[in-house]
Each structure stands twice: as structure tokens, then as C-alpha cells.
Amino acid sequence: FPITITTYIEKNLDLNELLVQKPAATFFVQAQGESMLGAGIHPNDILVVDRSIEPTDGKVVIAALNGELTVKRLSKTAEGIWYLKAENPQFPDILLNDGLELIIWGVVTNVIHNL
């Protein structure tokens, strides 16, 4: 006998409940470009971003770099030098130095994309 999907549904799923921990600090942004393919972020994906999470080493962040938005992994070398890491070898990492204006808007917590 065929089994329908409703056999397995116990309750309605609410994406806000699943993906948003702090609604007042959360926003959505659409990704562009291919610099984060290795992190599973593709062009036109929807990124869930939480401004309340501390941007620490290894977190994927939305950052304004000299006024231009970018999505990269925040990383630190063994020597303590911070940089924004691309997750695609075709794109260079960005060393953070005194000459750059950097504002981190938030930490990416989830990615939504089409199949």
C-alpha cells in the first residue's frame, strides 16, 4: 500500500521555530557569488544571520569590508592575525589590517537553498 507523507507528519513545521533563535537579532540575506561554495553556500541561497552571536574564529560571517558586503569565514592564524577566508580556492583570503574598514553584521547560522 502506498504511504503518504502525512503518515509521518506529527505537527506543522515552523521555519522560524527551527532556524531563528533570537528573532530581534536575526535577519535574512540572499547570497551572491561563488566564494563560499566549499561551505555549502551557493548563489541565491538565503542565509539566516544572527547579530547576537559573537563572531569568533571559524564562524561564517556577513561583513561590510570598506562598505562592501561579503560572506566569508572569520579566521585567525597561529600568530594571531585575523583574516576573512574564502571557501573556494579560486578566491583569495582577505587579511584584516589597519587600512581596512570592517564591520561584522552577524554570524550565519543556516543556509536555505534550492535543489
What are the catalytic residues?
Answer: 35, 72
The amino acid present at 43, given as its one-letter code, is P
User: Strand, coil or helix: what is 37?
Assistant: helix
| Cβ-based neighbour number of residue 45 at 10 Å | 19
Residue 38 falls in which region: left (phi positive, over 0), alpha (psi -120 to 50) or beta = alpha
| Cβ-based neighbour number of residue 107 at 10 Å | 19
And the C-alpha cell for 40? Answer: 555549502
